[in-house]
Amino acid sequence: MAVDPDLDAGVLDAVAPVEGRLLKVHPHAFIVLHPSGRGVLVHLGIDTVKLEGAPFTLHAAEGDQVAAGDRVVSMDVAAVRAAGMSPVTPVVVMDARAETVPPVESGAAVATGDVLFTWPAGS
């Protein structure tokens, strides 16, 4: 799935989509490893690694334990757009069988802290 921020968004917070340990943290991306062993990658924008961290503010570090909804990185959407890049933010489920990942409603509006998806227990 991917989240496409509003054109007038300003600075947005990217939060941990699941509880777990921050396995990797970069200004433009992070991975949360859930206690079940599944990971979720959040990549703020497309090709934003080229911005060398400029429009991002880190609020957590590799190894930190986070709860779902904890702020990890803030992104200045206007600065990303001004650099000619897309702020579309993929949220990628890793290390999970496709049939265990529930479908997500396309085109739905979301706000920081909204539940994007849930995994069934035991999957």
pLDDT in tens, 94-107: 877 777 777 777 88
- The reported pTM is 0.89
Cα 32 from chain centre: 9
Residues constituting the chain: 123
Residue 84: the pLDDT is 94
Which of the pair, 121 or 16, is modelled with greater confidence? 16
Cα(18)–Cα(27) distance, integer angstroms: 19
Which of the pair, 64 or 8, is modelled with greater confidence? 64
> Is the model's pLDDT at 122 over the cut of 70?
no
Active site residue 59: no
Residue 101: the pLDDT is 73
Over residues 33-86, the pLDDT tens digits come to 999 888 999 999 999 999 999 999 999 999 999 999 999 999 999 999 999 999
- Which of the residues 26, 34, 43, 59 is marked catalytic? 43
Which of the pair, 120 or 1, is modelled with greater confidence? 1
Contact 58, 13 (CB under 8 A): no
Contact 26, 54 (CB under 8 A): no
